Structures are given as structure tokens and as C-alpha cells.
């Protein structure tokens, strides 16, 4: 099928169209001014002559009217010609400036479409609307660049996370096949552990992706804060006992009821409690607490007196696969995205989650802020 040849009108650029439109406006104004002046001017002049006592057929009156008509016609013609030329020059300058700004925006859009996101557009200074478009485009390009960077890093991190258990499984199976290592209880436990690691990674990736994309459906209901804390403590009791860590709960009397998905928020608290237990040595303490904020929100905290987190790592703890030495080491067995899952699920509830620590060896506190049942989701 042959491609349609674009018409002359379709090929015409914006600058040409603006010039034509502005020229039509200027010419329309000039013709209107000429018609109005020709119709009104002589009649008004004749009226003034009559008021001055000159008859309509007096030679002096006739000569004066002819002189006025010729002078006004010549003056009006010169004035309109000068006005049209000046207006066309100003229109050409303005049209070229608008066209140049839109051309820069179009070139930047093509660059972004080709995957080059470092194409900011400077505000052209043609008015608030043009400046807002340029600023919005630059912001969009910056966010696309950041999203592309995160995507590339995510793919690299996922490949790295999968490579380790897969390599372990492959090496173990080869050793068993070659008769170097027996398929005993220890080997089966190792294989099972690596399989669980891959399963946990896949489940965590699916959970954080659904939550961040807005596809996660929450089954909200009013849940007392005490029930949330009690469930989190009960879920982590066995792990705490095995690690030799004291796990306790504390609920303030005025802690509000939260409008949350009990299962999903339980997953968040379980992740945070598990994270705290992994980084708290035997003999340490982990506390899950609930209270009311000054704004009436439900504030849930998971605090430990374990390894702590250095200040430079705190802003990045909730990023996927981010690991800080001494805080989120692979040796502790986490998937690397547990905290990212927590942030995504809390955000889906309309809340926020953050971390604080006074430094390595001084423990860490994770704080959730959620709308109370009376306030609704933010």
C-alpha cells in the first residue's frame, strides 16, 4: 500500500501558519478601520460644517469637505500601511520565537523517545503556560532517566541475587552426581534452603511490583492497634526464642483503630520484626509498639538494640536490593527487598514508613504512620 503524500497544508510549519493567521487578523483590522473611518468621518465633518453656519451647497463647504476627504484618505492609507507593516514585523518575530521554542521541545521529545533522557528544555519566557510546559517536560525527562537507571540496576541486582543460589544448586548437584558429596540430610537441607531462597525472592518481587503498580487489592477493615501488635509478636515468637532475643509488645491506651488490610499489614510487621531479629544478637531486645500521633494517626514502631545503621545508609534502606554493611548483609538470609515490600504495602494503605538509628551498634527503629479508621486513607 503506497504512503499518502502529505498535502501542502500538512507540510506547512507552525511559524507559517501563525504568520498567515496574524496577517489575516491585521488585514481584517485594517479593512475594518478603513470602512468605519470612510463611513463615519465625512458625515461627522459635514455635521460640524452645518453647526458652523456653512450651508451644504456653499462653495467653501464643498471645498472643505473635498479637502477633508482627500487628506483623511491619504493619512488613513499611510497610517494603515505603516501599522500593517509594523504588525507583520512584530508577528514574524513572535511567531519565530514561538516556533523556535516548540522546535526545541519537539527535538527534546524525539531525544527522549530515542532513549536519551538528558534533554532538558529551558523555559522560553513566553508566558506562564509555555514555561510550565517546558518545566513539566524537563521533570518528566528526569524521572524517566531515573526510572531507566533503577530498571537497569534492578535487572543487574536480580541477576546477581538469582546467580548465587543457582550456582550453589548446580555445584551441589554436580558434586552429588560425581559421587564427591553424598545425598544425605545435610545436602538435602542445603538444596531445600536454596530453593526457598529463590521462591522467597520471586514472591517478594511479585509483591512489591503489584503494590507499586497499584494492582494490589486491599481488603480493608477497622483493626485495633492491640491486635496488630499482638499478631506481630506472636508471629515472631518462635524466631525470637531461637535467636535468644526478647520480643515484646507495647500498646498505648489511646492507640487508634486503623483502617487496614489485616493480612497485608501483618506482612509488613512480620518483615520488620524478622529484619530486627536478624540484626539483633542473642540477649538483645526487640519491641513492637503502637501509639497515637498528635495528628491522630496510628504510629507503629519496631525497635531493636542490635547492629544499628550508619547515617549514610538510612535514606536507601527501602530501595530494592540495597544492602549496607552491618545492616543488611546477605549472610543474614534476607531476599534484599523485604523493606521495599514494606514501603510499597504501607504506601498502598496511604501511610509512610521510615527508619532511624543512632549509628552502628546502637540499634534501629522503623516507624509506620497510618491513617486511623476515623480519618480514612490519605
H or E segment to which residue 137 belongs: helix 128-177
The answer to whether residues 226 and 265 belong to one domain is: yes
* Residue of 326 and 310 predicted with greater confidence: 310
Q: Do 273 and 300 fall within a single domain?
A: yes
Look up the CATH number of the domain holding residue 196: 1.10.287.130
Closest CA to 368 of 278, 263, 260: 260
Q: Does residue 257 fall inside a structural domain?
A: yes
Q: Which pLDDT score, from 0 to 100, does residue 45 have?
A: 65
Residue 170 and residue 112 in one domain? no
Same domain, yes or no: 261 and 233: yes
User: Do 227 and 342 share a structural domain?
Assistant: yes
Same domain, 209 and 226: no
The yes-or-no verdict on residue 122 having pLDDT over 50 is yes
In a domain, 331, yes or no: yes
Q: CA-to-CA distance for 230 and 248, rounded, in angstroms?
A: 9
- Burial-class residue 370 by CB neighbours within 10 Å (0-12, 13-18, 19+): buried
Residue 48, all three cell numbers = 460640524
State the total domains in the chain.
3
What's the average model confidence in pLDDT over 327-337?
51
My answer on whether 92 and 19 are in the same domain is yes
Q: Does residue 122 form part of some domain?
A: no
Are residues 34 and 67 part of one domain?
Answer: yes
pLDDT digits (tens, 9 = 90+) for 10-34: 445 556 666 677 777 777 777 777 7
Q: Are residues 198 and 316 in the same domain?
A: no
Record the cell numbers describing residue 90, joined without a space: 512584530
> Residue 260 CB: number of other CB atoms within 10 A?
28
Domain that holds residue 183: 134-213
Residue 1 lies in a domain: no
Q: Name 309's Cβ contacts closer than 8 Å, sequence gap at least 6.
A: 317, 324, 326, 327, 355, 357, 359, 360, 364
Comparing CA positions, the residue from 315, 294, 298 lying closest to residue 357 is 315
Find the helix or strand (DSSP H, E) in which 150 lies.
helix 128-177
Please indicate, yes or no, whether residues 285 and 166 belong to a single structural domain of this protein: no
Percent of the chain having pLDDT more than 90?
Answer: 19
Exposed e or buried b per residue across 115-147, where buried means at least 16 C-beta atoms within 10 angstroms of its C-beta: eebebebeebeeeeebeebbeebbeebeeebee
Is 0.85 surpassed by the pTM of this model? Answer: no
**What does the pLDDT look like over 219-268, one tens digit per residue?**
889 999 999 999 999 999 988 999 999 999 999 999 999 999 888 898 89
Whether 96 shows a pLDDT value over 90: the answer reads no
Contact 281, 275 (CB under 8 A): no
3-state secondary structure of 329: coil
- Rounded-to-integer distance, Cα 51 and Cα 47, Å: 6
Residue 123 belongs to some domain of the structure: no
Q: Within this chain, do residues 105 and 174 fall inside the same structural domain, yes or no? A: no
Q: Is residue 312 part of a domain?
A: yes
How many CA atoms lie within 13 Å of 280's alpha carbon, on the beta-carbon side? Answer: 27
144 occurs within a structural domain: yes
Residues 300 and 344 in one domain: yes
Buried b (16+ CB within 10 A) or exposed e, 62-77: eebbeebeeeeeeebe
Q: Does residue 167 fall inside a structural domain?
A: yes
The CATH number of the domain holding residue 355 is 3.30.565.10
Amino acid at each position: 500500500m503506497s504512503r499518502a503524500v502529505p498535502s501542502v497544508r500538512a507540510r506547512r510549519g507552525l511559524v507559517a501558519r501563525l504568520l498567515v493567521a496574524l496577517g489575516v487578523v491585521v488585514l481584517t483590522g485594517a479593512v475594518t478601520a478603513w470602512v468605519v473611518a470612510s463611513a463615519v468621518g465625512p458625515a461627522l465633518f459635514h455635521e460640524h460644517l452645518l453647526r458652523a453656519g456653512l450651508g451644504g451647497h456653499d462653495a467653501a463647504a464643498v471645498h472643505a469637505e473635498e479637502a477633508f476627504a482627500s487628506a483623511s484618505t491619504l493619512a488613513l492609507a499611510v497610517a494603515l500601511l505603516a501599522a500593517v507593516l509594523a504588525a507583520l514585523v512584530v508577528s514574524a518575530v513572535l511567531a519565530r520565537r514561538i516556533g523556535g521554542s516548540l522546535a526545541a521541545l519537539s527535538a527534546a521529545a524525539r531525544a527522549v523517545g530515542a532513549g536519551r533522557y538528558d534533554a532538558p528544555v529551558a523555559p522560553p519566557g513566553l508566558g506562564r503556560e509555555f514555561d510550565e510546559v517546558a518545566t513539566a517536560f524537563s521533570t518528566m525527562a528526569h524521572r524517566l532517566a531515573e526510572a531507566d537507571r533503577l530498571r537497569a540496576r534492578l535487572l543487574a541486582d536480580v541477576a546477581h541475587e538469582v546467580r548465587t543460589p543457582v550456582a550453589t544448586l548446580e555445584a551441589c548437584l554436580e558434586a552429588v552426581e560425581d559421587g564427591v558429596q553424598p545425598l544425605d540430610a545435610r545436602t538435602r537441607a542445603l538444596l531445600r534452603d536454596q530453593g526457598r531462597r529463590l521462591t522467597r525472592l520471586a514472591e517478594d518481587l511479585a509483591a512489591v511490583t503489584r503494590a507499586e503498580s497499584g494492582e494490589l487489592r486491599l481488603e480493608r477493615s477497622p483493626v485495633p492497634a492491640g491486635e496488630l501488635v499482638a499478631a506481630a509478636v506472636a508471629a515472631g515468637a518462635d524466631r525470637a526464642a531461637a535467636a535468644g532475643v526478647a520480643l515484646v509488645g507495647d500498646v498505648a491506651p489511646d492507640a487508634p483503630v486503623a483502617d487496614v488490610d489485616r493480612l497485608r499489614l501483618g506482612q509488613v510487621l512480620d518483615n520488620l520484626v524478622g529484619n530486627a531479629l536478624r540484626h539483633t544478637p542473642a540477649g538483645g531486645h526487640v519491641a513492637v509498639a503502637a501509639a497515637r500521633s498528635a495528628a491522630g494517626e496510628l504510629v507503629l514502631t519496631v525497635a531493636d538494640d542490635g547492629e544499628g545503621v550508619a547515617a549514610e545508609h538510612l535514606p536507601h534502606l527501602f530501595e530494592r536490593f540495597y544492602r549496607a554493611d552491618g545492616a543488611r548483609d546477605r549472610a543474614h538470609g534476607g531476599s534484599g527487598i523485604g523493606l521495599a515490600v514494606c514501603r510499597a504495602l504501607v504506601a498502598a494503605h496511604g501511610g509512610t514508613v521510615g527508619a532511624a538509628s543512632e549509628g552502628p551498634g546502637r540499634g534501629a527503629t522503623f516507624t509506620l504512620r497510618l491513617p486511623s479508621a476515623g480519618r480514612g486513607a490519605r
